[in-house]
């Protein structure tokens, strides 16, 4: 990347922290044993894997036995849902309208194949699920509720502890996709009351291709794939020792740094918002005002097409859009539409997510670059098609 490239897309992926890379390096160049082997090389690898398991467990407040290593958040989510599916199908699942595709596509596929019935509960204008709605969706045959902890687009945090109390009263398991929350806010499985929790390494400065699933003691899962008895028989295949060492090292950095980093990122995010609002008075901010990730800023510049804005910025500032244009078609963010935002607001939305290596000067310069492109674009080059969009029948 260019030296002056500004990265405001930490919710998409994070760079590997140099301290994580340093912990991984010996396992890239020296310790290559198979953790299942009983000789010295194998024992060294096994020790590294189990140390990583302890580090992950300590990071989310559980015992090591509760951690199953996977290839990432998507596999963890699939393992949780498919693993609980009753033999032969059947049963009912409840999830929210703002889930990541790694949840939504899984449950929709099972529904389409007739293997489950599905209820998707809506959210309010801030993107937050009402626990009362979850309770109202439960049925005698409900076996799983899956609600994300933090939304990847707008940063809203969900009321997992309240939802957990509802589920416990009816003996229903609760899963959460915590990929966007771990490393950004405190995450403790006991405080949340969840039975299963998914983690993605590349969202918290560990390498891509590694993750974990917390499984509460007493919860029984069927494996997604069959093979040898790795990971309590739930995830066969020789462990990715290099990646797991990185995941463990990333978790080890969280405890001592999380509080100060949360405060720093919140300050930077708020500074970025003020700068953008100062240069574009009509700026709209999405997501809950208080219960939100400290690093995430989802904003709309009404009248400015986000895909055009980001295309102009792609070699200068990394960010994500709330809508994508494909020829004459516009694909809107399901999260933003679930929040009741009009089509033209979705199409004017970008997500800016900050991280461990974001600096004050980058926030200042990044805001200026974004506003500079907006001044260049101006009215008249707003939308993918030549006509203006019509108002949708949902309010902003």
CA distance 68 to 31: 22
Q: How far is CA 295 from CA 11, 339, 351, 361, 395, in A?
A: 9, 20, 11, 16, 26
Active site residue 346: no
CA distance 220 to 215: 8
Please state whether beta strands 117-121 and 211-215 pair in parallel, antiparallel, or not at all (unpaired). unpaired
Token reading at 175:
């899963």
* 18 CA to centre of own chain: 22
Per-residue pLDDT reduced to its tens digit, 247-274: 999 999 998 899 999 999 999 999 999 9
Q: Contact, 335 vs 98, CB < 8 A?
A: yes
Q: What is the 3-state secondary structure (H, E, C) of 221-287?
A: CCCCCCCCCCHHHCCCCCCCHHHHHHHHHHHHHHHHHHHHHHHHHHHHHHHHHHHHHHHCCCCEEEC
pLDDT at 324: 59
Please state whether beta strands 196-200 and 6-7 pair in parallel, antiparallel, or not at all (unpaired). unpaired
Instruction: Identify the three-state secondary structure at position 127.
Output: coil
Phi then psi for 7, rounded to 5 degrees?
Answer: -105, 105
Instruction: Identify the three-state secondary structure at position 171.
Output: coil
pLDDT at 393: 28
Of residues 62, 167, 325, 384, which has the active-site annotation? 325
pLDDT at 323: 60
CA distance 231 to 251: 19
pLDDT at 329: 57
Whole-model pTM: value is 0.92
Question: What are the structural domains, with CATH classification, of the chain?
Answer: 6-12+258-377 (3.90.1150.10), 18-254 (3.40.640.10)
* Averaged pLDDT, groups of 10, the chain, 396 residues long: 91 98 95 93 95 98 97 97 89 97 97 96 98 98 98 97 97 98 98 98 98 97 88 88 98 94 98 97 96 98 94 96 59 94 95 98 98 83 39 31
Q: Which of 293, 242, 275, 210 is nearest to 10 (CA)?
A: 293
Q: Which of 81, 78, 83, 113 is nearest to 94 (CA)?
A: 81
For 332, residues 6+ apart whose C-beta sits below 8 A from its C-beta are 322, 323, 343, 346, 347
Per-residue pLDDT reduced to its tens digit, 37-86: 999 999 999 999 999 999 999 999 999 999 999 999 999 999 999 999 98
pLDDT at 383: 41
């Amino acid at each position: 990347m260019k030296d002056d490239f500004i990265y405001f897309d930490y919710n998409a992926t994070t760079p590997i922290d140099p301290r994580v890379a340093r912990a991984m390096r010996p396992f890239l160049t020296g310790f290559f044993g198979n953790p299942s082997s009983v000789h010295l090389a194998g024992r060294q690898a096994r020790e590294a894997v189990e140390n990583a398991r302890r580090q992950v467990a300590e990071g989310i407040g559980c015992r090591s036995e509760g951690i199953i290593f996977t290839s990432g958040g998507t596999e963890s989510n699939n393992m949780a849902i498919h693993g609980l599916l009753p033999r032969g199908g059947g049963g009912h699942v409840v999830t929210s309208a703002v889930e990541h595709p790694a949840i939504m596509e899984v449950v929709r596929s099972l529904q389409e194949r007739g293997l489950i019935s599905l209820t998707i509960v809506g959210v309010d204008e801030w993107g937050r699920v009402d626990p009362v709605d979850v309770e109202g969706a439960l049925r005698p045959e409900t076996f799983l509720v899956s609600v994300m902890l933090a939304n990847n687009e707008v940063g809203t945090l969900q009321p997992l502890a309240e939802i957990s109390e509802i589920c416990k009263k009816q003996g229903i398991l609760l899963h959460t996709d915590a990929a966007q929350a771990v490393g950004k806010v405190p995450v403790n499985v006991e405080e949340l009351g969840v039975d299963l929790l998914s983690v993605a390494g590349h969202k918290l400065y560990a390498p891509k291709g590694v993750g974990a699933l917390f499984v509460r003691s007493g919860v029984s899962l069927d494996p997604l794939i069959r093979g040898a008895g790795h990971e309590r028989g739930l995830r066969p295949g020789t462990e990715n020792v290099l990646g797991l060492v990185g995941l463990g090292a990333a978790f080890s950095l969280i405890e001592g740094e999380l509080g100060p980093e949360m405060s720093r990122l919140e300050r930077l995010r708020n500074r970025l918002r003020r700068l953008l609002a100062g240069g574009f008075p009509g700026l709209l901010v999405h997501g809950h005002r208080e219960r939100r990730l400290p690093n995430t800023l989802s904003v709309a510049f009404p009248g400015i097409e986000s895909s055009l804005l980001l295309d102009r910025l792609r070699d200068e500032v990394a960010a994500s859009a709330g809508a994508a244009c494909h020829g004459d078609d516009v694909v809107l963010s399901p999260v933003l539409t679930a929040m009741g935002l009009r089509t033209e607001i979705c199409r004017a939305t970008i997500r800016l997510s900050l991280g461990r290596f974001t600096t004050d000067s980058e926030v200042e310069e990044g805001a200026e670059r974004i506003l500079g492109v907006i001044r260049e674009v101006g009215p008249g080059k707003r939308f993918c098609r030549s006509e203006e969009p019509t108002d949708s029948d949902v309010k902003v």
